[in-house]
Each structure stands twice: as structure tokens, then as C-alpha cells.
């Protein structure tokens, strides 16, 4: 089945620094990937839709200058949290679909970001 690899799984960084999270589709090409944020016991909140070769589409309320998304190839999308602050601490998950809703969106294992 489709596999999405996400790295790192856990990262601790100092306030003010930037963190890059990678999302790779290992055995399929993904023209579109999605980035979510999940707080404890809360729903997955879609942050942005990452489109290969073009600008990402951000959801309302998500700062595009803070959460930089790059989708340079059909198998790799990156999310960079710039000038991270403690309130950015969360669980970030990417996903991609090989065949649409019926086959399901394949999710990465997520990245636990802690900003200290």
C-alpha cells in the first residue's frame, strides 16, 4: 500500500529558531499533499494544501510567512516553521492521496514539535 514517510518524528527547538519537517511519498507520486496540525484531544486541523510546482494554498488564519511550504518534487513536501514560539508546539501531520477518498489519504507518522 501507499506509504508516506515523515521526518523528524520529534523535535525540540529553541524559541526563535526555524524547524523543517519533511514529508515523502515513498511508492507513489503525489501532486498534492496536505499539512495538518493536531492539538491534544483535538481534531486534525488542515493548515495548507501543498501543490507540486506551485504555491501552497493556506487555510484561513494560517500565516503563510510563518509556515513555509515547499513542494519541489512529486514525492517531497516540506513544512518550515519559522521563528518558532512555544505556542507553535503541536503535532504536525502530512498526508497524501494516491487515489482519492476511496483509497484514503495516507498519513505520515507525524512530528511532535516542542518549542522551549
Partner 1 sequence: QKEVEQDPGPLSVPEGAIVSLNCTYSNSAFQYFMWYRQYSRKGPELLMYTYSSGNKEDGRFTAQVDKSSKYISLFIRDSQPSDSATYLCALASGGSYIPTFGRGTSLIVHP
Binding site for partner 1 (CB under 8 A): 4, 6, 9, 34, 41-44, 46, 49, 91, 93, 95, 100-110, 112
Q: How many Å apart are CA 49 and CA 68, to the nearest integer?
A: 12
Considering beta carbons, is residue 61 or 100 the nearer one to partner 1? 100
Rounded to a whole number of angstroms, the minimum distance from the CB of residue 33 to partner 1 is: 12
φ, ψ dihedrals at 32, nearest 5°: -130, 130
Considering beta carbons, is residue 28 or 91 the nearer one to partner 1? 91
Q: How many Å apart are CA 50 and CA 31, to the nearest integer?
A: 8
Cis peptide bond N-terminal to 8, omega within 30: yes
Considering beta carbons, is residue 57 or 82 the nearer one to partner 1? 57
Amino acid at each position: 500500500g501507499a506509504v508516506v514517510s515523515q521526518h523528524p518524528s520529534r523535535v525540540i527547538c529553541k524559541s526563535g529558531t526555524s524547524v523543517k519537517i519533511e514529508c515523502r511519498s515513498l511508492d507513489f507520486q503525489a501532486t498534492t499533499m496536505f499539512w495538518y496540525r493536531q492539538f491534544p484531544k483535538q481534531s486534525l486541523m488542515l493548515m495548507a494544501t501543498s501543490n507540486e510546482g506551485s504555491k501552497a494554498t493556506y487555510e484561513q488564519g494560517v500565516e503563510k510567512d510563518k509556515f513555509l511550504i515547499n513542494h519541489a518534487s512529486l514525492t517531497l513536501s516540506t513544512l518550515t516553521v519559522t521563528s518558532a514560539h512555544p505556542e507553535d508546539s503541536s503535532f504536525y501531520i502530512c498526508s497524501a492521496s494516491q487515489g482519492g477518498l476511496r483509497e484514503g489519504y495516507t498519513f505520515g507518522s507525524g512530528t511532535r514539535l516542542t518549542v522551549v
